[in-house]
Amino acid sequence: MNSLIEHTYVTTLKTLKEKIRTAQIKASLSVNSEMIQLYWEIGRTIAEQQKKQNWGDKTVQKLSEDLQKEFPGMKGFSYRNITYMKQFYKEYQELTIVQQAAAQLPWWHNVVLLDKVKSKEERDWYAKQTIENGWSRNVLVMQIESRLYHRQVLEGKITNFKKTLPRPQSDLAEQIMKDPYKFDFLSVYNEAQEKDIENALVKHITKFLLELGTGFAFVGQQYHLEIGGEDYYIDLLFYHLKLRCYVVLELKATKFKPEHAGKLNFYLSAVDDILRHKTDRPTIGILLCKSKNKITAEYALKGISTPMGVSEYNITQAIPKELEQSLPSIEKIENEFSNK
């Protein structure tokens, strides 16, 4: 095989591999969609028969057993799963299921949503976020249990994004903000100093990035900037791949104060001037405080022209201080054993 033929062969093989992989993905999505449609139809049939013929639980149980006998190679016809199918139909009976985000999710993701989320609006939001971010079922469960919808959509985050950023960037910037941020994975106390929290977040960077959300790329901790011949250090610097901009994150282990916004504004202006590429969008700031007064924070952001938001963070203590003080030390335990 001469070099030209070999090159053509390699190129052709690569093209065919890509086409096959694309076809496999489409086939997988198609199969999933067909299965979701089938489960919806089964749920509808059962719901209608229960209404028309007064089918009870025993009849549904018999239907489950007969379907399992008829289709032994197919899983999913257990009594419990058929009950989920009926619930699934009832939740999505207003429109055809193919129009719903739920049709694009694996079945067991839908079961999680049915079990854990009661509001249809909230369930649809989680379904769309799962599709967009590619969440596994375990990650979806974690996001629901951390009340992500409430923290990202409903609760009291304060930003000036709508005034300082054009649409649709302002909308996307609003979407990436949460309030509060939950740092349950940290083994530090609520009284921990900013540097301790920073170090712990960087140590658990994977979990930290998951809490921040999709699109954040970590640039550095205590990122050095030289401004006017003096040294300054940004707590945590990120780049957001969807927003195409730097994100400066400043941590305050205290209640929010207006001067915190002034310092963050200074850093945003510096990053825009020193680091920002001409194709980057304006740098965004996130100020994370132990607590905040909403009115104070709103006034502080009113006259600032750089885009920033203020949120709180929560830390779950592994062992409360008062309890920790009552526990015996390692030395005391060792002495107890050595004396026996």
Task: Look at residues 97, 132, 150 and tell me which one is the last residue of a structural domain.
Answer: 150
Together in a domain, 88 and 57: yes
270 and 122 within one domain: no
By the 8 A CB rule, do 261 and 301 touch? yes
| CB proximity list for 215: less than 8 A, separation 6 or greater | 176, 240, 241, 242, 243
pLDDT of res. 189? 61
Which three-class secondary structure state does DSSP give residue 275?
A: coil
What pLDDT does residue 94 have?
A: 67
Measured CA to CA in angstroms, residue 99 lies from 96, 132, 205, 216, 310 at distances of: 6, 16, 37, 31, 37
In a domain, 340, yes or no: no
In a domain, 313, yes or no: yes
Number of structural domains found in the chain = 2
| Residue count of the chain | 340
Structural domain of 201: 152-319
Q: Is the residue at 129 inside a domain?
A: yes
Query: Is 119 a member of any domain?
Result: yes
Q: What is the pLDDT along the chain (340 residues), one digit of tens a residue?
A: 566 566 665 776 676 677 766 665 566 656 677 888 888 988 888 898 888 888 888 888 988 888 888 888 778 889 999 999 999 999 888 656 656 788 888 888 999 999 999 988 899 999 988 888 788 888 899 889 888 888 887 666 789 998 999 988 888 888 888 888 888 777 666 566 788 888 888 888 888 888 888 889 999 999 999 999 999 999 999 999 989 999 999 999 889 999 999 999 999 999 999 999 999 999 999 999 988 888 899 899 988 999 999 998 887 544 344 444 444 444 443 454 444 4
Question: What phi and psi, each to the nearest 5 degrees, are found at residue 212?
Answer: -65, -40
Could you tell me which residues come within 8 angstroms of residue 118 by beta carbon, excluding any fewer than 6 positions away? none
For position 226, which CATH number holds?
Answer: 3.40.1350.10
Torsions phi, psi for 289 (to 5 deg): -120, 160
Report yes or no on 339 lying in a domain: no
Helices 3-52 & 79-91 angle (0-180, nearest 10): 90
Sign of CA dihedral 72, 76, 81, 82: negative
Instruction: Provide the pLDDT for residue 27.
Output: 61
State the angle between helix axes of 205-212 and 194-203 in degrees (0 to 180), rounded to the nearest 10.
Answer: 100
Question: Do 308 and 268 contact (CB within 8 A), yes or no?
Answer: yes
Same domain, residue pair 18 and 124: yes
Per-residue pLDDT, 24: 59
Shared-domain flag, residues 82 and 161: no
299 and 258 co-located in one domain: yes
Q: Do residues 175 and 314 both lie within one domain?
A: yes
3-class SS of residue 246: strand
Strand partners, 245: 240
- Whether residues 291 and 163 fall in one domain: yes
The last residue of a domain, from among 132, 150, 168: 150
> In this structure, are 210 and 145 located in the same domain?
no
Give which of 90, 80, 74 is closest to 34, Cα–Cα: 74
Stated as kind and residue range, the H or E segment containing 308 is strand 308-314
Asked whether residue 145 falls in the same domain as residue 156, the answer is no
Max Cα distance, the chain (Å): 84
